[in-house]
Amino acid sequence: MNDVRHVLVLPDRDAAEEAAEVLGERFGLVEEPQLVREALAGEDDADDAQWLVVLADPEETLNPKELDEFAGEWDGWREEP
C-alpha cells in the first residue's frame, strides 16, 4: 500500500469544511479528509491562516487535475507533492 496524499490549500475554515464534505460525495473517498490549520509565516492573527484538506489516496485513484479544479471551486489549489 502506497502512502500517497493530496493536499488542497483553501482560504478559510468554512471553505475547508465544506470542501471536505463534498469531496467524499464527489470522489467516493474511503477515508475522511483531514483538516489542518496552517498559520501563514509571520502572521499572528488567527484570521490569517490557510486550511489544508489532506486526502489519503493509497490506491492512487484520485486524478490530480480533477482535484486542482475542485480546489479552485473554493478559491484554493492543490499542492504538488
Fold of 5-79: Alpha-Beta Plaits (3.30.70)
Identify the pLDDT of residue 6.
Answer: 95
Residues 11-63 pLDDT 10s: 999 999 999 999 988 998 888 999 999 876 655 555 568 999 999 998 899 99
- What is the edge-to-edge ordering of all strands in the sheet holding 5-10? 34-39, 49-56, 5-10, 77-79
Closest C-alpha among 57, 61, 59, 8 to residue 35: 8
* Cβ atoms of 33 and 54 closer than 8 Å: yes
Identify the pLDDT of residue 59.
Answer: 87
Alpha-carbon distances of 10 from 15, 50, 58, 60, rounded to whole Å: 6, 6, 23, 22
Domain ranges of the chain: 5-79
Q: How far is CA 13 from the centre of its chain?
A: 11
